[in-house]
Amino acid sequence: MIIFDLRCAPQGHVFEAWFASSSAFQEQQGRGLVACPLCGSADVAKAPMAPAVGAKGNKAPASAPPGSLFAGAPGEVKEMLAAAAAFQKTLLAGSEGVGPRFAAEARAIHLGEADNRAIHGEATRAEAESLIDEGVAIAPLPFPMVPPGEEN
C-alpha cells in the first residue's frame, strides 16, 4: 500500500488516500473514482508531501499512531477529521448495513416498497447516478468503512 497526500483544485483541501500502487491511483483518478472527502470534487491531484521517516528507535510520534489516517496533518486538521470520522461511525451505528444490495434497498425505500429506515452499503458509480437521477436521496461516506468483523 502507498499513501498519497492529495489536494482538490476548487477548495485546496488536502487529504490522505491509500492505493495499491502509483498506477492504481492514476487508474482510479482517470476513472473519476478519486474525490475530495470534504467537498466531493473529483478535480484531485497529488499534493507535495514529505517522505515518511521513522523517529529514533523507529517509533512514530505520540500524536499520531503508526499508519494513522491523519499522520502528518496539522493538529487542528487532525482533530476535525477525527471528529468527522467519529460522527460517521455514530451515523453508521444507527443504520442498517445492506452491503451490495444498497441500490435496490434505497430504491425500494424511496418507492415505499420497503420500510423507511437508514441504510448504508455499496453501490457502483452507475447505480449511484441512477438513484440520484430517480430522486433518491443518497450521499457518499467521506471515510472508508471497515466491514463488520474486520475491525482491528
* 78-92 tens-digit pLDDT: 888 888 888 888 888
How big is the CA angle at 151 (ends 62 and 21), to the nearest 5 degrees?
Answer: 75
In the chain, the percentage of residues whose pLDDT exceeds 90 is: 23
Whether residue 100 lies inside any domain: the answer is yes
Number of Cβ within a 10 Å radius of residue 90: 9
pLDDT value at 32 more than 80: yes
Identify the DSSP state of 48: P
pLDDT value for 104:
96
Looking at the structure, tell me whether residues 135 and 78 fall in a common domain: yes
Supply 24's cell numbers: 492504481
Q: How far is CA 110 from the centre of its chain?
A: 25
Inside any domain, residue 56: no
Does residue 43 sit in the same domain as residue 80? no
- Say how many domains are in the chain: 2
Neighbours of 36 (CB within 10 A): 22
Which range of residues forms the domain containing residue 115?
74-141
Q: Are residues 84 and 132 in the same domain?
A: yes
Burial class (CB in 10 A: 0-12, 13-18, 19+), 150: exposed
pTM for this one? Answer: 0.49
Q: In this structure, are 37 and 95 located in the same domain?
A: no
Is residue 52 a part of any domain in this protein?
A: no
At 80, the amino acid letter reads M
pLDDT at 36 over 60: yes
84 and 135 share one domain: yes
Residue 9 lies in a domain: yes
Please name the residue ranges forming H helices in 35-101.
75-93
22 and 80 both lie in a single domain = no
- 31 with 89, same domain? no
Does residue 84 sit in the same domain as residue 121? yes
